[in-house]
Structure 1
């Protein structure tokens, strides 16, 4: 995606937003490739827009485009982010003993299906080490036993800081502390093997069976301080295959800047 940029705009809905955005791209010599928008209420609701555009010599033009966005879009009371689509996001992976989600991400990355780089995989066990290294990706073992995870989280933060744009929990079977989330400074995406918000926490399949549920699935969501209650990116039904697929789609959409977080909701384009 050389010389392609992705512009995300969101804020209070009002007349003229689309015109302002498209005019800004045009006067900065950009050509719109795709444009998606959503409003939850045209009368005073929230507006969300994702635009991908091509602009020759994009890197050199970015400062001028960002200055124009500040002067034009910010003046409308809207927030925006602009990313160069030729720069893949750095995705660190945390894993435990289950390898199906981890290997799915590594395989899709090797096939070029995920627009990311993977600077490292961190695990509290060593059974996936050789598989990870066979993909040419650094593996780090950070044990995490007992109720006090402070030392383990400090070591993980040391490894992640400055080296990642987002973190994926590929069946990392440890509860992430609020302090960790405050300090990691990047989005954290999890896969949970049930339809959230039902059956949060450990052993959701057993809880679902005890409740008499006939259909179970998987949910990928952003991690917040509230266990399994972060904004949901993607869901689907049935088993381990779906966990792999749901997590991979969530990662792909995040890496492509297709997800806008709005409170405890997401808008996915």
Structure 2
């Protein structure tokens, strides 16, 4: 597939969301929030397509709302609508995020030698299952270069030097990402990101962890799981923070195993779960369905 074909497919997928936007609202619960949002949208002749809300306590708890609406000539009218929303929601002490759903987010992928999550994301994006574009894949190994380029995606090999100092590689990562991506996915990228990188990247980073957190953190989780005689193996997709494998969780899933399964069996079953969990997390993030709430999330699905 050529780059032109990839771009054409992305444009086709985006056309399905033409003149639709999502609005995420978050703040302290109080009377009148839903009515206030609806009144602004109505004043601009916007038609609400879907609305989901959650409050952990109607008496002053945290309130979350996701609204998808259709508005003719969205790109032209969106600035005026946003100005009115900003004024109204500020009066209510609410924060918000407004996004044009016809503009797919740009997802950069970091990978290493393992390719099952990487290829699954590339395949889903090519077939219109993920509303994203993929400007690049970056890897510390060249092993997956040919497969990535077969999808028409630019591939960059950035070796990771031995030892704890990864600053030179991370500086190149930041140079490649700057202005070219909206979020990063670690598709089994087997390097630990430094706090300096996380602070400097300026965009969300999503990781897939090959175990059901918080159990079996670190290297060799399936071997550890086998030693413990687990009856379930799973995967966790989460946002990356400076605390290793402890960022806000977006999605998790498990599959049953038994005493007869070998470590290789656990890895194979786990890989299937990893692909599914990561693709759902990417889809939900790219559709603005996720609200971070401290070290947890609210996910509207």
Tell me if both proteins adopt one fold, taking TM over 0.5 as the criterion: yes
Equivalent positions of 1:5-154 (< 5 A) are: 5-147=21-163, 148-154=165-171
Q: Does structure 1 residue 203 correspond to structure 2 residue 231?
A: no
Structure 2 CA distance for aligned equivalents of residues 206 and 20 of structure 1: 54
1:250 corresponds in structure 2 to 281
User: Deviation string for 1:140-164 (max 9, x for gaps)?
Assistant: 0000031221101111111001110
Match of 1:263 in 2: 294
> What is the CA-CA distance between 1:69 and the residue it aligns to?
1.1
Match of 2:264? none
Q: What RMSD, in angstroms, separates the aligned Cα atoms of the two structures?
A: 0.8
Q: Is 2:200 the partner of 1:183?
A: yes
Stretch deviating more after TM superposition (192-201 or 244-253): 192-201
Aligned-partner SS, 1:25: helix
CA distance in 2, matches of 1:155, 1:116: 23
Does the residue aligned with 2:298 lie in a helix, a strand or coil? strand
Taking the aligned partners of 1:197 and 1:38, their CA distance within structure 2 comes to: 26
Shift of 1:189: 0.2
Displacement over 4 Å in runs of 4+: none
**1:215 aligned to 219, 229, 232, which one?**
232
Unpaired runs of 5+ in structure 1?
A: none
Q: CA deviation at 1:63?
A: 1.1
Aligned length: 269
1:236 aligns to 2:267 (yes or no): no
Query: Distance in 1 between the 2:56 and 2:140 partners?
Result: 42
The structural deviation recorded for 1:211 is 3.0
How far off its partner does 1:203 sit?
1.7
Q: CA deviation at 1:31?
A: 0.1
CA deviation map 1:19-58 (0-9, x unaligned): 1111111111100000000011111110000000000001
Matched, 1:2 2:33: no
TM-score, L = length of structure 2? 0.88
CA shift, 1:169, in A, is 0.1
